[in-house]
Structure 1
Amino acid sequence: MDNALVTVLIAMLGGAIRVSTPFMFVALGETLTEKSGRINLGLEGNLVLGAMVAYAVSYLSGNAWLGVLAAGGSGIFLGALHGYICKLPRVNDIAVGIAMMSFGTGLAFFFGKPFIQPTAPRLDAIPLGDWTGNPALAQALQVNPLFFVGIALAVFMFWAFRNTRWGLIVRMTGDSAASAKAMGVSVDLVRFLATAAGGFLAGIGGAFLSLYYPGSWNQGLSSGQGLMAVALVIFARWDPIKCIFAALLFGAAGALGPSLQSIGISQGYYFFNAAPYILTLIIMIISAGSKAAARDVPGELSITK
């Protein structure tokens, strides 16, 4: 029993690192967007389109990192389009986000059909566990560089929001558009740039899905991770550092089913695979009545436009 428990924990560790990376990038992108006072529910579309573009460019160019950059570019395209539409009069952020989600996934499905079967070059992992002498632990500690990029980005965002002029402008725009305008800040421009940058990060998260884990392109690749990341941002209280831990928690929940299956527990497999969705629902219910979340939310997000 002890060996089985260790096996499950090691599998969940590896799964948490792998599964958390797309969550981390999408959550950081949404954190930046919401800090500016705008909600983008369309990041699921950025994630799926980024996955398709990354796989296609990697296959056509033979370079996986070019695919990653192309995925970020597709995310900027959708984010910028979302940001431009939302600055028009009498336009609702939520409705535009849902439309952009459908638009992004539709583009990915339409242009991605030729790339479902071919095999594209994938991103390599950094072997951090070879020294342990434990094959299972060594496999769990095969970490993709994008995971470390996400952590570094979260630390940078945490610092920038508190210590830079641009960080102050983004926070002020999200907390009080009137104050930002009084200081001569273009609210529309700040939100446009924040939404485009958030889309870029979501696109990078999609590249991880298709070029590393699971490591292929198909139309069911995302499984709603872009939408779940919005709940993750609320759970992290719009704090980039907390987004790391929240993403790892979601990643561990997503790895629960495969981890139990690795020791022969298959009964209830589909229920355990639903753990991330159940966790999302629980977080949304808890956050709805959370005074801490209400205190930390950017002020402009609570205004009905």
Structure 2
Amino acid sequence: MTADLVFNVLIAVLGGAIRVGTPFLMVSLGECLTEKAGRINLGLEGVLVLSAMAGFGGAYLTGNVWAGVLIAGCSGALLALLHGLVCSLPRVNDVATGIALMLLGSGLAFYLGKPLIQPQAPQIPPLPLGDWSSSAQVRSALQVNALFPIGVAIAALMAWGFRSTRIGLVLRMAGDSTDATRALGYSVNTIRTAATVAGGFIAGLGGASLSLYYPGSWNEGLSSGQGLIAVALVIFARWNPWRCLWAALLFGGAGALGPALQSVGISSGYYLFNAVPYVLTLAILVWTCSPSRSVKGMPAELGVTR
């Protein structure tokens, strides 16, 4: 490959990392917030699909894309609220409930979203960060999803909140010690349910990114397992919001590699390159399976059998 081709591929991967990585970022931040409070939500795949459908439908019916984004976030929060309430019951397993909600969210989205497959809804406006360049490739690659800087701001707010606020301290305490939280007079179930709902809202913004920006339409195969991948991404990021950002960009870049190579005429092995995010997920799960790595940074209550 010539230097120009290499440059074009790198620029395309950079732009694709932001474009493809935005849903990963939102869902991983939502799961990070949920797990910091000591609860696992494997239903985020259902949250992602349902919020993508609801956001697309909201934007289509109202004609306002930001109304669609808000509806997507609220639909994710409602499904997460159901998860939080059910998990608050005695002898209910978080993982089993999450899987049930994943199926529920996906089923509702597929059933309610059938009339939305053909229509076109307003799209989230891109931020033209490449106007400084005379290169059409650079300008195109740096058309940034407007939700991406919002995701970065959420990551910064979460990192600061966990470290420097009373709310963050109480939330982390609920994730590390149920007994200590109750001893100080706090309701563990209330904290975990609130964190789950807030995490569902953030994850719902990732669904809005899918249906209202890239690929910018609604269909039943929209998510491609990104909600489940994001759970592995949180483990890889060691429950750190800033690391979730870099991990999301890594996964986004992996997902954009195939299209980037195809854009410069390299189509051999295209489908193999499309499998890179899934191979990366498997590699991360294998890499983090040893006890010394898997427990580092993990909220202690996640390892408690309930």
Equivalence for 1:231: 232
Percent identical across equivalent pairs? 61
The alignment partner of 2:296 has SS state of helix
* Contact preservation (8 Å) 2:238, 2:296: no
Instruction: Determine whether 1:42 maps to 2:43.
Output: yes
Counterpart amino acid of residue 153 in structure 1: I
What displacement does 1:290 show?
5.8
The alignment partner of 1:304 has SS state of coil
The alignment partner of 2:138 has SS state of helix
Mapping of residues 125-136 of structure 1, within 5 Å: 125-136=126-137
What displacement does 1:119 show?
0.7
The alignment partner of 1:296 has SS state of coil
Equivalence for 1:217: 218
Equivalence for 2:124: 123
Counterpart amino acid of residue 280 in structure 1: T
Equivalence for 2:267: 266
Mapping of residues 175-254 of structure 1, within 5 Å: 175-254=176-255
* Contact preservation (8 Å) 2:34, 2:41: yes
Equivalence for 1:153: 154
Q: How many angstroms apart in 2 are the aligned matches of 1:83 and 1:147? A: 27
Instruction: Determine whether 1:279 maps to 2:280.
Output: yes
Equivalence for 2:258: 257
Deviation string 1:110-159 (CA, Å, 9 cap, x unpaired) is 00000100111111011111111111011111112210000011001000
Counterpart amino acid of residue 220 in structure 2: Q
Equivalence for 2:96: 95
Deviation string 1:10-35 (CA, Å, 9 cap, x unpaired) is 11011001011000000000000000
The alignment partner of 1:55 has SS state of helix
The alignment partner of 2:122 has SS state of coil
Equivalence for 2:10: 9
Q: How many angstroms apart in 1 are the aligned matches of 2:164 and 2:204? A: 27
Mapping of residues 44-59 of structure 1, within 5 Å: 44-59=45-60
Counterpart amino acid of residue 134 in structure 1: S
Equivalence for 1:304: 305
Counterpart amino acid of residue 96 in structure 2: A
Aligned length: 305
Equivalence for 1:112: 113
The alignment partner of 2:267 has SS state of coil
Q: How many angstroms apart in 1 are the aligned matches of 2:102 and 2:31? A: 14
* Contact preservation (8 Å) 2:78, 2:197: yes
Q: How many angstroms apart in 1 are the aligned matches of 2:88 and 2:31? A: 17
The alignment partner of 1:295 has SS state of coil
What displacement does 1:293 show?
3.9
Equivalence for 1:81: 82
What displacement does 1:295 show?
2.4
Q: How many angstroms apart in 1 are the aligned matches of 2:296 and 2:224? A: 31
The alignment's C-alpha RMSD in Å is 0.8
Q: How many angstroms apart in 1 are the aligned matches of 2:164 and 2:10? A: 38
What displacement does 1:297 show?
0.4
Q: Which moved more, 1:185-194 or 1:256-265?
A: 256-265
Equivalence for 1:62: 63
Q: How many angstroms apart in 2 are the aligned matches of 1:103 and 1:271? A: 31
Deviation string 1:169-189 (CA, Å, 9 cap, x unpaired) is 100000011111111110000
Q: How many angstroms apart in 2 are the aligned matches of 1:304 and 1:169? A: 21
Counterpart amino acid of residue 75 in structure 1: G
Counterpart amino acid of residue 100 in structure 2: A
Deviation string 1:17-56 (CA, Å, 9 cap, x unpaired) is 1011000000000000000000000001110011000110
TM-score (ref. length: structure 1): 0.99
Q: How many angstroms apart in 2 are the aligned matches of 1:279 and 1:292? A: 17
Q: How many angstroms apart in 2 are the aligned matches of 1:177 and 1:295? A: 19
Equivalence for 1:166: 167
Residues 184/225 of structure 1: CA separation in 2 closer, same or farther (3 Å cut): same
Q: How many angstroms apart in 2 are the aligned matches of 1:256 and 1:145? A: 22
TM-score (ref. length: structure 2): 0.98
The alignment partner of 1:37 has SS state of coil
Counterpart amino acid of residue 208 in structure 1: S
Q: How many angstroms apart in 1 are the aligned matches of 2:158 and 2:289? A: 26
